[in-house]
Amino acid sequence: MAAGAEHATHIAMARDLCCKASLRHDAGERFPEPETAMANHYSTEIAREVAPDAVQGYGGYGFVSRLGADRAVYAVERIYRESKGPAIYEGTHGIQKWMIARHMFGRW
């Protein structure tokens, strides 16, 4: 139960970071890089942390995309598979961390 509450808290924090970056962009800021980097980095890390736990919670069904004659879809397998992608195609975590640190220490 504690892991579920912890995951829910981290997911809410990631969602808030994404909303903050989106609001700053919508307000007309050219490119809110620090907030965007934080949202990207943190959301990707949380997705990679939470998805395997969801698969484990479903047991063997966590790795099945469709099951039986009714072809019911299990979204957990897709979520697990897609949680790996952003770390690869949205830039390396090293670059994201560098952008965040550069902003924090005033070398922006």
Helices first, then strands: H and E counts in the chain? 5, 2
**Residue 49 is among the residues annotated as catalytic for this protein:** no
Residues 6 or more apart from 87 whose CB is under 8 A from it? Answer: 44, 48, 93
Half-sphere exposure of 101 (CA within 13 A, CB side): 6
* Active-site option among 33, 45, 49, 90: 90
Question: Which residues are catalytic, by number?
Answer: 90
